[in-house]
Amino acid sequence: MAATSLICSGTVSRVSSVLNRDVKQFGKKFMFDGNEETCWNSDQGATQWLTLEFPQAVRASQVQIQFQGGFASQKCVVQGCQNGGDLSPVAEFYPEDTNSLQHFSLEETPLNKLKITFENSTDFFGRVIVYQLDVR
């Protein structure tokens, strides 16, 4: 059975930055709209991140992510917590610098908040571009 998305209309997302603060063209919502033409484009900086706050506890087992080649994170650190607790490590994964959708397994842990930190961007200025992101 295929895992279903845990991201719903009640999920609150936040990101570290948006390129030129242009949320209409590059905002975080474009990671979740299912449109392959739109994306979240971070501004430059050493480390970019994304948080997801779910309306109820979820058991995440997989992260799916599609970067733009040349603007990918070479190391992603996933942290999570329940009910406002401190974030604790869940997983680390090492995406390829490619345009294809990539899947990474997580150890199933109940959580209300998930943070993904994008480290070591392949872009010289540290920008990250994500076309799709899903938590299942």
pLDDT digits (tens, 9 = 90+) for 44-84: 998 999 999 999 999 999 999 999 999 999 999 999 999 88
Neighbours of 76 (CB within 10 A): 24
**Amino acid (1-letter code) at residue 108:** E
- Please give the domain boundaries of the chain with CATH numbers for all domains: 12-135 (2.60.120.260)
28-46 confidence digits (pLDDT tens): 999 999 999 999 999 999 8
12-33 confidence digits (pLDDT tens): 999 999 999 999 999 999 999 9
Q: Could you give the CA distance from residue 114 to residue 54 in angstroms, rounded to a whole number?
A: 8
Count of H helices and E strands in the chain? 1, 7
CA angle at residue 16 from 12 to 21, to 5 degrees? Answer: 100
